């Protein structure tokens, strides 16, 4: 396998030889695993995050991106949500390449968890994404587990069945790439995250290559749907840079700017504007510091080291000579800006007259958290400035509707599959594709696990699916055990807990007294004594019947649950966690221990003989 090749015959649009196979039976939508090309998402459909798209032909699998989804507030104690890798673990001998389109967490965050379960020789990523992945693997002590190969728009990846090429796109992070995958059954374009900025900061979109790909013919386009409901076009990053410079210039006192840590191009704009206004810069937040360090190393951030100051130096300069850049633009509880607002930051206390600038928009679902931080900052005396249509302190990194139309008209796909978005966004994007000439029946709106089959340049959704449950990660656990723990937390939060205490004598297989029930978070005990007494009798009667025959402790626990859970649900419409506690009489325990000791000693005698 090669990562780069200069042979002009290997251009991304080179002719592909298509395998002649029997005409498909579209009524059955069945898969021929030998000759069909399969496309399916492990994550990224019906959600914003967890992006992972797989392309399979015979005994080869190519994967594009491996991201995480950050949990909602109702996922108690969850750090990340990742795709279920079970199918890929079973078929890991087929995996030939993991390709990364860019370095955002929803595209690279799952890599450490993926490598803990699957042995992979190489990951292909652009320069900035490569540096971020290496940093991430170093933190997880996985630096030696996999080689990261740097790619660009001229790189090629060849396998037995796949021929992969790339083209440059504009996004809110450097080195973003779109992917062209030549397969035996047609060409596929996966756009990655993109926007069309005619005056970008950094690399321009590769319009010529996209138009050429469209001219030679694309069977399936998989397109970013994040901004499918946003009309018009996006604001240029250069306009944002000018607006930020003007705000810094007119701010009289200390300025605190919060933005996305991963948006290194925006970070560089803020730093350059601060230096141009004769301010020193302090950077706070672990992710922001990491990105700043990588940006300086790769030459994306070009301001001199002398322009940076540490937290200890903040009090040595006048307020109008300081610019603080920090994380927390989405109201994250532990981020630097939230700690500043709450007065718990180690170095920074808000001084009346400070200006706090949000160079971001709240991600859907984060509005309340952001509002809470803004209110707290205002309460302690800060002047808070947020993005609005009149200020332009932020611009999106994803294509709105008019730019999605441009992509559709450049690529001219035969079939269209919207990806990277909630269900409503996928439907809206499919409607846009229909406006651009893709027939309604060729818009494939899928869910995670659905299999799109390519056969002789035709596509259909198969009647088979791939397992794609979400795995909740608590700490660094990727076994799926955390998933059951989180489900228990949700049940506890919703329905509470009921403990059933039973005393038995295992010598005579006899229950000694009526069970006792204790509950927490289920019902108000003083007002539900009758219910609990009835529940005790239900368990007592079930156990007496069960103990008329020889049983085990496991049988007794199952008997308690199977008798009590339906009764409680019937009476309260709640399903609390039922925990059986079985107490055995001391004499019975002593007898069990004596038997166990006797068995051990007899086994030792047998061994000696």
User: Hey, which residues are catalytic here?
Assistant: 224, 398
The pairing of strands 280-284 and 322-326 is parallel
| DSSP 8-class letter at 28 | T
Beta carbons of 472 and 75 less than 8 angstroms apart: yes
Beta carbons of 76 and 485 less than 8 angstroms apart: no
| Burial call 199-226: b when 16+ CB within 10 Å, e when fewer | ebbbbebbeebbeebbeebbbbbbbbbb
Beta carbons of 287 and 261 less than 8 angstroms apart: yes
**Of 159, 194, 147, whose CA–CA distance to 175 is shortest?**
194
Beta carbons of 307 and 281 less than 8 angstroms apart: yes
The pairing of strands 322-326 and 60-64 is unpaired
Beta carbons of 238 and 276 less than 8 angstroms apart: no
Distance CA 215, CA 217 (A): 5
Residue 150 burial class via C-beta count within 10 angstroms: exposed 0-12, middle 13-18, buried 19 and up: middle
**Of 101, 90, 25, 31, whose CA–CA distance to 63 is shortest?**
101
Helix (H) or strand (E) holding 396: none
CB atoms within 10 A of CB 347: 15
Structure tokens that stand for 21 in this block = 């196979």
Report helix, strand or coil for 249.
helix
Distance CA 352, CA 319 (A): 11
HSE-up of 587 (CA within 13 Å, CB side)?
4
- Measured N-to-C along each axis, helices 207-216 and 401-411 cross at an angle, to the nearest 10 degrees, of 50
Residue 198 burial class via C-beta count within 10 angstroms: exposed 0-12, middle 13-18, buried 19 and up: exposed
Distance CA 51, CA 63 (A): 10
Structure tokens that stand for 63 in this block = 């994967």
């Amino acid at each position: 396998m090669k990562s780069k090749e200069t042979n002009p015959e290997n251009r991304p649009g080179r002719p592909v030889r298509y395998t002649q196979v029997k005409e498909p039976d579209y009524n059955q939508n069945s898969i021929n695993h030998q000759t069909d090309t399969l496309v399916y998402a492990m994550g990224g459909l019906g959600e914003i995050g967890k992006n992972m798209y797989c392309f399979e032909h015979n005994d080869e699998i190519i994967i594009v991106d491996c991201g995480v989804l950050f949990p909602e507030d109702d996922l108690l104690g969850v750090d990340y949500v990742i795709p279920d890798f079970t199918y890929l673990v079973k078929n890991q001998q087929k995996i030939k390449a993991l390709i990364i389109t860019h370095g955002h967490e929803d595209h690279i965050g799952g890599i450490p968890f993926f490598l803990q379960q699957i042995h992979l020789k190489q990951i292909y990523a652009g320069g900035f994404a490569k540096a971020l992945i290496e940093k991430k693997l170093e933190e997880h002590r996985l630096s030696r587990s996999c080689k990261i190969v740097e790619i660009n728009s001229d790189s090629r990846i060849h396998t037995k069945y796949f021929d992969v090429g790339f083209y440059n796109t504009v996004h809110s992070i450097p080195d973003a790439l779109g992917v062209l995958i030549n397969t035996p059954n047609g060409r596929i374009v996966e756009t990655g995250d993109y926007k069309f900025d005619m005056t970008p900061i950094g690399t321009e979109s590769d319009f010529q290559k996209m138009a050429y790909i469209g001219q030679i013919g694309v069977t399936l386009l998989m397109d970013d749907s994040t901004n499918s409901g946003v009309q018009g076009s996006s604001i240029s990053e250069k306009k944002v840079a000018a607006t930020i410079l003007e705000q810094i210039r007119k701010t009289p006192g200390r300025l605190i700017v919060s933005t996305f840590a991963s948006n290194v191009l925006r970070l560089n704009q803020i730093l350059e504007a601060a230096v141009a206004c004769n301010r020193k810069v302090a950077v706070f937040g672990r992710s922001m510091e990491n990105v700043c360090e990588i940006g300086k190393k790769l030459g994306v951030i070009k301001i001199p080291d002398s322009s940076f100051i540490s937290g200890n130096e903040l009090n040595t300069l006048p307020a109008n000579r300081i610019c603080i850049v920090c994380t927390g633009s989405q109201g994250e509880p532990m981020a630097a800006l939230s700690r500043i607002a709450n007065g718990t930051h180690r170095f920074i206390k808000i001084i009346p007259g400070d200006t706090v600038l949000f160079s971001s928009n709240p991600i859907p679902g984060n509005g309340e958290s952001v509002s809470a931080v803004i209110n707290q900052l205002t309460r302690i005396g800060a002047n808070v400035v947020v993005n609005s249509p009149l200020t332009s302190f932020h611009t999106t990194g994803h294509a709105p509707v008019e730019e999605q139309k441009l992509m559709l008209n450049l690529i001219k796909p035969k079939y269209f599959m919207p990806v990277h978005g909630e269900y409503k966004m996928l439907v809206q994007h499919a409607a846009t594709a229909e406006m651009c000439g893709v027939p309604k029946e060729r818009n494939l709106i899928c869910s995670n696990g659905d299999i799109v089959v390519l056969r002789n340049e035709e596509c259909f959704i198969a009647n088979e699916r791939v397992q794609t449950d979400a795995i909740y990660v608590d700490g660094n656990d990727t076994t799926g055990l955390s998933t059951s723990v989180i489900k228990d937390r949700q049940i506890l939060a919703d329905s509470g807990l009921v403990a059933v205490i039973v005393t038995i004598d295992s010598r005579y297989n006899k229950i000694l007294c009526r069970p006792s029930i204790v509950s927490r978070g289920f019902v108000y005990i003083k007002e539900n004594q009758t219910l609990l007494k009835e529940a005790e009798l239900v368990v007592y009667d079930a156990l007496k019947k069960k103990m008329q025959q020889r049983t085990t402790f496991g049988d007794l626990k199952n008997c308690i649950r199977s008798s009590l859970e339906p009764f409680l649900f019937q009476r309260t419409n709640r399903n609390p966690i039922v925990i059986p506690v079985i107490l055995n009489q001391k004499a019975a325990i002593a007898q069990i221990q004596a038997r166990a000791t006797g068995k051990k000693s007899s086994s030792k005698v047998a061994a000696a003989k």
